[in-house]
Amino acid sequence: LLPIEWVDGWPIIGKRGEDGIGNMIWTAKKPIPGPVVKMPAINEDFSSPKLAVHWQWNYQPRMEKWSLTEHPGFLRLHAFKPLRNNELLKAGNTLTQRCLRTDANEVMLKLDLTGMADGQEAGLCHFAGAYSALSISQAGDVRKVTYNERGKITEGPVLEGTDVWIKSTWGIDGESEYSYSTDGRSFKTFGNRWKLTWGNYRGDRIGIFSYNNKADAGHVDVDSFQYTFGKRKP
């Protein structure tokens, strides 16, 4: 919208200069107050038997491979083979939300790893045209922290226990940093800083995923997905 000023019966669009000609105005106060902005409900404890509307599957899901009722209060993701090993965008049943861009943003995912199987990966990801992910990978009976950037795998320390918290934080600059915790309080960073990008006709999305490079085996139970954000960019 551009303001209009009437001078001698003629409309002058924008801001009138000394020469009487209207000039472009790039920012201005809205002529009427806008409605109160309502932010979407984006936190999730998976207590409902139905998936909330703020979630979207990345491509067509395999409905028999996920459940909100097998373990009430959790989202259970059954792992199956991706079309190409270790390639997140070729894996099925990745559950996603849009990324918000404010001064301070954080997503914290809590997973129960009890049902994981050999060859399985499960974790938190960012993707658009490219992708990155921080996950837990299982080989035999050993679980490790793993960072995946465009298919390049970096293995981290062995993870003890069955509960893990995975976090992504980013600011208005769109630089994401991953971290993980075994108690939900003390977090350790792992992997590279990741630039949130646009690609494939969409902005960055953040998602929960699980797949198995070896067989259709294993599952992960998602306990909670906490999404917090700060001040909006003016």
Domain assignment present for residue 140? The answer is: yes
Task: Round to whole Å and give the CA distance between 84 and 82.
Answer: 5
Same domain, 60 and 117: yes
Same domain, 129 and 203: yes
pLDDT digits (tens, 9 = 90+) for 78-92: 999 999 998 999 999
Tokens of 85: 């090993």
Average pLDDT across the chain, whole number: 92
Burial class (CB in 10 A: 0-12, 13-18, 19+), 136: buried
Among residues 29, 19, 51, 68, the alpha carbon closest in space to that of 221 is found at 68
Among residues 176, 170, 123, the alpha carbon closest in space to that of 147 is found at 123
Same domain, 8 and 76: no
Same domain, 86 and 16: no
pLDDT digits (tens, 9 = 90+) for 173-214: 999 999 999 999 999 999 999 999 888 777 899 999 999 999
Domain assignment present for residue 41? The answer is: no
Domain housing 3 = 1-34
Same domain, 27 and 131: no
Domain count, the chain: 2
Among residues 128, 105, 121, the alpha carbon closest in space to that of 196 is found at 128
Percent composition of the chain: helix, strand, coil (DSSP 3-state, to 5): 5, 45, 50
Q: What is the pTM of this model?
A: 0.82
Domain assignment present for residue 48? The answer is: no
Same domain, 84 and 3: no
CATH of the domain at 126: 2.60.120.200
Same domain, 139 and 190: yes
Among residues 222, 175, 209, the alpha carbon closest in space to that of 92 is found at 209
The pLDDT of residue 231: 60
Domain assignment present for residue 45? The answer is: no
